[in-house]
Amino acid sequence: MPAADVTRPYGLSRPTMQDAREAMHRVHGPGGPAAWSRLLTSAGIPATNLGDADLPRLLEAMARLDPVSKLCAQALNIRLTSHTHLSAAHDLTRR
């Protein structure tokens, strides 16, 4: 039997800053790079320091940026919350 992947409980990976960037570029089309730049500025996150620990702060700013970005933030928040809860459940069932 293969070993369980503790980073992907139930096959769900935690969203990353790269996922957020790709989502913003995808939903904003040609305006994606500018929207991403506005988002980083709004969140107070330097483009040179995109640590995944800043994702919750980025998602808060994303939800305030514009209606399309708000939907994007909601989707990423669902993934983040689901991953957090499923990871906790996975840990409990593996004890």
Q: Where are the domains of the chain?
A: 55-95
The Cα–Cα gap between 37 and 47 comes to 8
Given this model, what pLDDT does residue 45 score?
95
Given this model, what pLDDT does residue 72 score?
97
Given this model, what pLDDT does residue 91 score?
65
State the Cα angle at 56 between 87 and 46, rounded to 5°.
Answer: 130
Given this model, what pLDDT does residue 7 score?
59
61 touches 24 (CB < 8 A): no
25 residue type, one letter? H
Q: Full-prediction pTM beyond 0.75? A: yes
37-95 residue pLDDT tens:
999 999 999 999 889 999 999 999 999 999 999 999 999 999 999 988 888 776 667 76
Position 3 pLDDT exceeds 60: no
